[in-house]
Amino acid sequence: MLRASAAVERAGVPTVSIVSSGFLKQAEVVARGLGIADLRIAHYPGTPMVDSHAALRTKVEQDLLPAIVDGLSSARSVKRERESLPEPAPREIVLRGTLEEVNERFYDAGWTDGLPVVPPTLERIERFLRFTERAPDAAIGMCPPDNRVATPWNIAATAVMAGCRPEYMPLLIAIVEAVTDPEFRIQDAGSTPGWEPLITVSGPIATQLDFNSGASVMRIGRRANSSVGRFLRLILRNLAGFRFAPGAGDKGSIAQNFLVALAENEAACNEIGWAPYSADRGFQAGDSVVTVQSVVGTSPPIYTGSDDPMEHARVLADVVGHTCSYWSPVAMAYSRYDPLIVMSPSVAKVFADHGWTKERIRRYLFDNIRISAQDAERYAYYIGLTGFKLREHVDKGLLPPEYCASDDPARLVRVFQKPESIGIVVAGDPGRNQSKCYCSNHTQGPPVSRKVVLPPDWHARLATR
């Protein structure tokens, strides 16, 4: 909403943005990133969604209306230049001291995630730069709302801090390319649902860099999985500006966290005759690919048993459905939902042995996971989409006609808009019959993939690490 206000302001039309108490600091950060540091704001005190109708009316009349009238009629000038403090140059040394002194300074400056970091010395950064052909100052992508430009230099500095190894550099550049793609909407990574970016690593690079794709695949422990996951969180913190300290841009209400990158077990896919996830994303089998997507919630562990694939599919539909249904009205409102199912090799093998492809599994889930129309509209209201109505979305062509096949409020409608949006990755303990679902956040953080571009002499460089 603030982005729309900024565009209108630049066109010479005064605006006033209504912002509740919990969003005031974030509004300042976003407005500053948009280059409008003096955006007019009408402050709604408190949280409107939990106020009574009487309290809502009183606050609108006593607080909002006067501020709106004043904002629209005042002659205040809008500051169009972004105001920011000078930042260290790429080779500038900001501190000399002990490990403890470096970590205390970085923590006080808000540059760490609260855990100790490896000091990004010039020597350490240079070691990372040896694993890419890109110039140190080449622009990789823009990181709003703070609008810092990601470069190999600051990517390497962040990677050092996260505990990565130098040879991860091509993978890290691909990750940053993915999240700075406008489709990913990195600027929304601080929204109140508190979604986290999940990295999936596919192809030979996962084995070459010693990623774990087996038991405990999503647990801290393997350096590659752990440090690469932490790296992206530090990128969001230090380049995009998503911190939750006062005056910062992270508004995750409760939020969640997993500082781990997921690695696909491509060997298991080959054994059962399934294409890897990277091929599902449009790449050639055998390519090294990273995919980043938002995760706003996860299912419990889904245990399925039997040699009958239909029994596995039924249980998956039940649990994935319960996980994704509540958040589906947001996806319906924005016409985008991209859940990811991580399936252990043993479960995937049952499906494959009986001729089930990933496409058939997706189609089954698409057809059998549903929510009542009245629940969809009720949950949308609580989330904040107070005007969401299925009938209006169908009339506008934003949802298929089947969503309003009748006027019965108890009618069941699909949770997902298209079967191909359901991702399936084979990973986890091959000796266990478990799957798990990761629920995405509609148009914020949809899956974006990038091929990992390796230097021509990649294997020679690996041999000298």
The CB-side HSE value for 16 (13 A sphere, CA atoms) comes to 19
User: Which candidate, 152, 296, 167, places its Cα nearest to that of 223?
Assistant: 167
Q: How confident is the model at residue 27 (pLDDT cuts 50, 70, 90)?
A: low
Range with the largest mean pLDDT of 10-14, 134-138, 251-255: 134-138
One DSSP character per residue, 291-323 reads EEEEESEEPPPEE--SS-HHHHHHHHHHHHHHH
Q: pLDDT for 87-120, tens place per residue?
A: 778 788 888 999 999 999 999 888 998 899 999 9
Report the largest interatomic distance among the alpha carbons of the chain, rounded to a whole angstrom: 73
Give me the pLDDT at residue 85, please: 52
Q: Are 257 and 114 in contact (CB under 8 A)?
A: no
Residue-level pLDDT at 100: 94
What residue spans define the domains of the chain? 2-73, 297-439
* Average pLDDT of the residues in 312-321: 97
Instruction: Check pLDDT > 80 for residue 260.
Output: yes
Ranges of beta strands (E only) in 122-248 are 141-143, 148-150, 196-202
- CA–CA–CA angle 56, 60, 61 (5° rounding): 120
pLDDT tens digit sequence for 334-375: 989 999 999 999 999 999 999 999 999 999 999 999 999 999
Q: Kindly report the average pLDDT of the chain as a whole number.
A: 87
**Range picked from 9-18, 61-70, 120-129, 186-195 for highest mean pLDDT:** 120-129
- Residues 157-171 have pLDDT tens digits of 999 999 999 999 999
**CA–CA distance, 407 with 389 (Å, rounded to integer):** 12
Query: Looking at 85-99, 143-157, 159-173, 320-334, which range is the least confident one?
Result: 85-99
